Structure formats: structure tokens, C-alpha cells
Amino acid sequence: MFHGKVLVAQGGGPTAVINQSMVGAVLESRKFRSVELIYGAVHGVRGILDEDFYDLTQETTHNLEMVANTPSSALGSTRDKPDLKYCQEIFKVLRAHEIGYFFYTGGNDSSDTVRIVNDEARKAGYDLRCIHIPKTIDNDLVENDHTPGFPSAARYVSQAFMGINLDNAALPGIYIGVVMGRHAGFLTAASALGKKFSDDGPHLIYMPERTFDIDQFIQDVREVYNRLGRCVVAVSEGIHDASGEPIISKLSQEIERDAHGNVQLSGSGALADLLTQKVKDALNVTRVRGDTLGYIQRSFVGCVSDVDQHEAREVGEKAVQYGMFGDRDGSVTIKRTGHYSVDYELVPLEAVAGKTRTMPDAFISAAGNDVTDEFRMYLRPLLGSGMPDAHRLRPNKVPKILAAGS
């Protein structure tokens, strides 16, 4: 068992339960005499470079528990994507502060950062345990059945589309909702879990695992609208054409890119507006509306899955246990067992780092515009307890009098 200080950090997009993982790691670390102090890096790896740390040893257990139940990243986060040179600087700081355990909660980029830092420590012969704690609302980490943060975001998306469907049924028209997900459509697919009756929306669901054809999209919307007199559509922000070009690039005149050179998909309502206009022009329907769910999906306070909370806490605890007892580096993963229960395994960092998981074919309908019952069975237990339900009046119609005699 190593001796020294613990450093915890949070990276990437905030989630509703990422603080559970941080608090799980902090409280579990306090149980070990080999731990001298516990630090938290402010704004992830950027805080490490700046030596901007909180001394979490001084936090009360009560306050940590309250923070654990609060969405978003309590330590702050960063979108920095460290390269080798950046990670070498991280290692210098860890070494200077005599950090013995490094626990970093994040997605695939964060796991790659942990891998590089771990390699640098080994090359230098420095005793450092490096553990990646999984987190992402996109649910796109390989080796995992699902990842903390996704179930709560999926709960929000399913309830949002439940409400959207009710609104659309009351005032019929065409509605297009854009959901987060660059390469993986899990979150967009979650919109299907709000359906109760066969004619409920979303009637069409488009995920980035399938090629998006604008003409076929218009045809699909027309068919549903002609049949039901309304249509609710869920679309992933990452939909693309056969060449892999994002649809937003094809439709928009101005393309914004992020710090990594990727087309900026989140943060604007451009895709919803563009698809809405396409539908208006093609179908000559006046009531066509579009929304972008945007950042609200990630840290919505009133819509957190209790299953997600418990598992996020446990992956933080397991990270410390693996580091302390197992003297191993790696990435904590969630494995599903039984009807619904989970186990946790530590896999090599290189098995997860920089890789992207997408939806299995078995989760996507043959037409590519809906999900299957297998996906519904996969997601339902993750949404947690107390999911609301939507009901409707039975159509016991009164016979017409004036119309009957005409």
C-alpha cells in the first residue's frame, strides 16, 4: 500500500451525479491511515497545472454529503484535452506535491489523460496510483454497461418528451427536439421511454449510428403527420450524412468549431431551426416548432435517478479500494448482472482511453428511425424509482344532434 496524498479531479461536461463519485472517493480515502491529505483540483487538469487545490481533508462529512446530492461539478471542470507535454507538466505538479493517488472522474478524454500521466510516473519510477472514474451523459465509454450521469440525463430526456408529447397532442403540429450526442445516440433514444400509448410521441427518433437522409426524414415526417395529424421527432445533435459530414454543416451557412477543431454541435439552436424550416418548406404545415434541449440535460436538479446516484457513489468508492488494496492502476467499469444489479471491475486504462462506444444494432429499429424493445428493457431500470406516468381521457363521445340530421 502506497503512502502520500490523494488528489481528486473532475473533467468534461458536468452531470447530475458526478459529485457523488468525488465524495465517494474522498470519504473512502479517509478510512485509510496511509492517506495523509486529500486535495481537490479546481477546474480539473487545468487546476493541477495551476496548482489550484482545495484541501478536502478539512471538509465536514455533513457538507460533503450535501454536495454529493447537488448536480454539476463542485470542483469545477475543464475542456482541456491534454497531450503528452501537458501530461508531463501534470506529473511534475503531482510529484512536487507528493501525490500518491490520483483519481480523475471523466469520459474517454479524461481516461486517456490518466493513462499518459500513469505512463510518465512509471517511466520516472515514481509511486503513483492512477485510477479513472467513469462519467459521461453520452454513455459512450467502452467496457461499461452504462456510465454514471447518463441515467439521470436519460430520465430528464424521457420526461421532457413525455411533456412535449402531451403538449403536441393538445395543440397538434410538428415538433423537432434536438438532444445531445455527437457519436452515440443513447440519450436521444431515451426519449422513447416517455411513451405510454401506441400513438404517443416521439414518433420518430434519429441517432448518429445511422446515416441521416434529409429527403427520407421529410418523407417519414409526412407519413406520420398524415396518419396522426401531428408528429414529434427526437434528433441527435450528431446526425450526419453518408460521408460522415454533420447535417448541421450541410444546412448552416456559418460553422462554429470547438477547441479541438470539431464542429460545435451544442450551445445553439441551429440544427433545430434548420430542420424545422426544411419541414415547413416541404410539407406546407404552419405549426412546426423546434427546440434544443442543450445544457439543461446535464445537471437538472429536479430529475435525478436514485440508481444513478448510488452507482456514481460506488464507482468513487471502488476506485479508492482498487488503488489502496489492489495497488493497481486502471479504469473502474460498471457491469450489469442478473435482472438488474451491477458489479464493478477495474480494467486497464488503455482498454478505455480514447475509445468511443456507440449503440448496438439490436437497440435500433430496422428503419433506423426508432428504438427497439430491447433498448427499452436496457434503459428502464437505470431511470430509477418514481418515474411519472401520463394518462388520457377515454373517448366516450356524445352523439351529434345537429350534424346527424343534416
Question: Which positions are annotated as active-site residues?
Answer: 138
Other C-beta atoms closer than 10 Å to the C-beta of 348 total: 13
Which residues does 320 contact at the CB level (< 8 Å), separation at least 6?
A: 6, 24, 25, 28, 29, 32, 101, 103, 131
CA distance linking residue 268 with residue 56, whole number of Å: 36
DSSP state letters, 115-148:
HHHHHHHHHHT---EEEEEE-BTT---TT-S--T
297 is in an annotated binding site: yes
50 grid coordinates: 495551476
**CA geometry: angle at 267 spanning 265 and 270, to 5°?**
65
264 grid coordinates: 460545435
CB distance 105 to 316 below 8 Å:
yes
The one-character DSSP state at 398 is P
Which residues does 198 contact at the CB level (< 8 Å), separation at least 6?
A: none
127 grid coordinates: 509511486
Find, among 356, 309, 311, the residue nearest to 332 by Cα. 311
How many helices (H) and strands (E) in the chain?
14, 11
DSSP state letters, 49-61:
HTT-EEEGGGS-H
377 is in an annotated binding site: no
CA distance linking residue 9 with residue 133, whole number of Å: 10
296 is in an annotated binding site: yes
Question: Exposed, middle or buried by CB within 10 Å (0-12, 13-18, 19+), for 123?
Answer: exposed
Other C-beta atoms closer than 10 Å to the C-beta of 229 total: 11
93 grid coordinates: 505538479
298 is in an annotated binding site: yes
38 is in an annotated binding site: no
4 is in an annotated binding site: no
230 is in an annotated binding site: no
Across 308-384, the runs of DSSP E, i.e. the strands, are 330-337, 341-347
CA distance linking residue 234 with residue 76, whole number of Å: 31
Chain-centre distance of CA 24, in angstroms? 20
The one-character DSSP state at 348 is -
287 is in an annotated binding site: no
CB distance 27 to 61 below 8 Å:
yes
295 is in an annotated binding site: yes
Annotated binding site for diphosphate: 13
Annotated binding site: 13, 108, 136-138, 180-182, 237, 295-298
